[in-house]
Amino acid sequence: MQFTRLGRTGLKVSRLCLGTMNFGPQASEPDSFAIMDRALEHGINFFDTANVYGWKKGEGVTEQIIGRWLAQGGGRREKIVLATKVYGSMGEGPNDGRLSARHIREACEGSLRRLKTDHLDLYQMHHVDRDTPWDEIWQAMELLVAQGKVVYVGSSNFAGWHIAQASESAKSRHFLGLVCEQSLYNLIDRTVELEVAPACEAYGLGLIPWSPLKVGVLGGALEKAKEGRRTGELAQKTIAKHRDKIERYEAFAKKLGVPPANLALAWLLAQKVVTAPIIGPRTMAQLDDSLGALDIKIDAEVSSALDEIFPGPGGTAPEAYAW
């Protein structure tokens, strides 16, 4: 396994991050345990979850599964960098979601209880809360850090200017602030290259791409369809919209002699600001196969060919659209 620093921090995380959103809804608890154990065997030490995963309001199903896995001992907790998120609604009350100081505090306690741990290595805001002032948010996060319940703070689904605003506010309080941003980023979805990625680079945040395979579309979806495998509704809509590009992409991956999924992951790993794409395996085989991405080198020729298939926004803002 390869490791890198999380943003500007000294913390070392694996170049692939284990996403756990499928634990519970699509992977049984025994299978989830086995996947997490195998991830450790592969050297993956970066585990990502969220309090809303499991999609049963207030229950934190996925966090509970991870907590029971950690409770088995064997050094599991000490071996991983554990990340979860706050923002989503965890109840029916008006203060059971978003980023008020009250909810941040209550949500953190709930995640710690479900995960059966005394601290979170990374606590991420799952979305920006435009109605809560940054002084309130940072005061709550500073308290959690002072109490030893949170080590680092990150964001998810922030715009570039949100990252700048949050970072400048934290700086004025002499607080470390954001160390990473988790964004939708893959060969098809490259909007973050305009302002989010540059903001991350400027403020020393690691970029953690979610949906790196675009709901499986970049994992050889057309070839799998020929074999009779079915895809979800969202994947089908994406294929219908980008079929020509996806056909060209799969042909290019075949020409290189690499699995399409690994090529998509390798491309992300080659982006300077990217820390670790989030892989969300439903099976052991999917986890094992993803490791091959670490051995693929994206040279200038391959990068140029991929840009021709999936052009992206044309660079960073404002040059991408201003002239």
Cα–Cα dist 290/33, whole Å = 18
User: Are 281 and 288 spatial neighbours (Cβ–Cβ below 8 Å)?
Assistant: no
Task: Pull the structure tokens for residue 10.
Answer: 């000294």
CA geometry: angle 151, 153, 154, nearest 5 deg? 140
Q: Is 185 a catalytic residue?
A: no
Q: Which residue of the set 53, 152, 185, 203 is catalytic? A: 53
Task: Pull the structure tokens for residue 98.
Answer: 């978003």
Dihedral sign (CA 150, 209, 270, 322): negative
Which residues are known to be catalytic? 53
